[in-house]
Chain A
């Protein structure tokens, strides 16, 4: 019996889709059978981040409406044998799917996959309600910014109200040199404010942009963000992995420049 995990955040642009793609790839790399579903109806993105945009024939709405079989809509990843994408519809709106239909679909998928990751749309409207309806677990993505934290708090409250007990936090786009300077909230600040369990931290890393440009997963790259995602995947499969030490991994040059900037 697999696990249904919704990746959500409230605010847009904090890294839900990138995180879904990379956790999907990372879990597949660990040998798990994984399905990622783009639930953002009307604004599909996950296919592009994964570099699978040219292969779409059918989509989530077609499956739900019975226009095709599930197997016809699934797209196999180029890199990982056991990773599949169920893309979103680009021309339908959020009301084309109901929470009940999502519950039915996810409970069937659970039988076949180890992990089903749902990439949730931004906002708290129907798209969000659909995405969380079948979830066993929620990953709330935030960045160390006031607006993103505020939305994350709201989302956690809504998830708790929907009786989703297993909620954990991923803090994305951390810039350690700014944290050091007192110009960015630290991991401790954010977890304390949100009083939530922390699953992982991801540094603001250029490699994420580069990987996304190429439609490749960043977990395959020799980068800090890649390591961060690999750690998160390890934890999701039950391994105990300490948090990434962002300070240690700064380059000698960065440390030297910041030493000169200090008063």
Chain B
């Protein structure tokens, strides 16, 4: 039995950056914190009806003035 199993350390910076991503997105469009995630998944399912995309190459970025949808992975 491994009592002192070492966990892969997650840097506190990556946690901070993840938290800020959600936080700023919801601040910028003035919505609930989970709205950003819901928005992303709804946009994804809408686009998927028309485009061949997978979740890992789909990204939604909300800036102070624009909302960007990025598709990558097309080869």
Contacts and interface: CB of A to CB of B under 8 A. Distances in A.
B13 A153 contact: no
Interface string A195-222: 1000000000000000000000000000
Q: Is the interface of A mostly helix, strand, loop or mixed?
A: helix
B65 interface: yes
Nearest to A158: B64
Interface residues of B, number: 16
Given A146-B19, A150-B24, A193-B20, A160 B65 contact: yes
A152 to B, nearest CB: 10
A78 to B, nearest CB: 41
B59 interface: no
B23 interface: yes
A189 B21 CA distance: 11
Chain A, interface residues (CB within 8 Å), range: 10 to 19
B68 to A, nearest CB: 11
Interface of A: 145-146, 149-150, 153-154, 156-157, 160, 182-186, 189, 193, 195
B28 interface: yes
Contact of A146 (B11, B23, B28, B64): B23
B21 to A, nearest CB: 8
Contacts of A189: 13, 17
Contact of B28 (A157, A184, A185): A157
Interface string B1-16: 0000000000111101
Chain A to chain B: the 3 pairs with minimum beta-carbon distance, closest first: A182-B11, A157-B64, A183-B12
